[in-house]
């Protein structure tokens, strides 16, 4: 069973317990994990789990799963999630791109959250960015009709690129995010707001009646 808190195993640089291994390319059984069927929200790149825990606390009727690729951040998330003592939040060590493609069923997410994804600022690193056209298409297909996809980045080049990219994915419509309640902030968001950095925000909705 995952998310039972610190395992007591030494926090080394390599996975030391089964839950610390990267989730392989196979379906994830949300109902078995949470012990119920409820609207699902997925966050990719949970960092220190601030958003994940606050969002789960605010919406107990939804189930929240965070996926975090880095082992050290995964451990941090896992231990914080366990300490929060909520039944509707979990965290998994997984690569978000592989996870959404292979573990999440089409049309199954009420919401997807990606906040401050690694910007990979150098030109030759750009192909490592999580959010590209293929990812957006797959993400759109994993949302329920009317399901929401929220993104935030402080990186101007990433933000500008997304401005154009989100218009190229027909199943997603862009909403005015200022007209909707803001989600709980992440750690990066708090830090960047303090520094006064501009932030690009995207609120996308999966259109009804489209594959």
Ligand X SMILES: C[S@@+](CC[C@H](N)C(=O)[O-])C[C@H]1O[C@@H](n2cnc3c(N)ncnc32)[C@H](O)[C@@H]1O
- Footprint on this chain of ligand X (rule: CB under 6 A): 44-45, 47, 67-70, 73, 95-97, 115-118, 130, 186-189
* Closest by CA position to 138, among listed 127, 146, 130, 128: 130
Considering only CA atoms, which of 22, 68, 73 is closest in space to residue 44? 68
3-state SS, residue 101: helix
At closest approach, how far in Å is the CB of 72 from ligand X? 8
Active site residue 163: no
What span, in angstroms and rounded, lies between the C-alpha atoms of 37 and 39?
Answer: 7
Interior angle at CA 101, CA 140 and CA 81, nearest 5: 90
Packing angle between helix 50-58 and helix 71-84, nearest 10 degrees? Answer: 30
> Is residue 120 within 8 Å of 129, Cβ to Cβ?
yes
Residue closer to ligand X, measured from CB, 96 or 171: 96
Q: What is the DSSP string of 142-202?
A: HEEEEEEEEEEE--HHHHHHHHHHGGG-TTEEEE-GGGSPPPPPPHHHHHHHHHT---EEE
Query: Which residues are marked as active site?
Result: 118
């Amino acid at each position: 069973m995952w998310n039972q808190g610190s395992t007591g195993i030494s926090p080394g640089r390599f996975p030391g317990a089964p839950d610390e291994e990267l989730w392989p390319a196979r379906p994830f059984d949300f109902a078995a994990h949470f012990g119920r069927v409820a609207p699902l929200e997925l966050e990719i790149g949970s960092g220190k789990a601030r958003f994940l825990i606050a969002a789960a606390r605010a919406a107990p009727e939804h189930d929240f799963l965070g996926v975090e690729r880095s082992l050290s951040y995964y451990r941090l998330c896992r231990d914080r999630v366990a300490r929060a003592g909520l039944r509707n939040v979990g965290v998994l060590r997984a690569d978000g791109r592989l996870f959404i493609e292979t573990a999440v069923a089409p049309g199954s997410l009420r919401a997807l959250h990606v906040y401050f994804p690694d910007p990979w600022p150098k030109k030759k690193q750009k192909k490592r960015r999580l959010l590209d056209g293929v990812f957006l298409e797959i993400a759109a297909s994993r949302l329920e009709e009317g399901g929401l996809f929220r993104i935030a980045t402080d990186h101007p080049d990433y933000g500008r690129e997304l401005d154009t990219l989100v218009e190229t994915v027909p199943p997603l419509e862009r909403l005015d995010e200022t007209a909707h309640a803001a989600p709980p902030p992440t750690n990066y968001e708090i830090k960047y707001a303090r520094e006064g950095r501009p932030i690009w925000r995207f609120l996308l909705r999966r259109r009804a009646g489209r594959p």
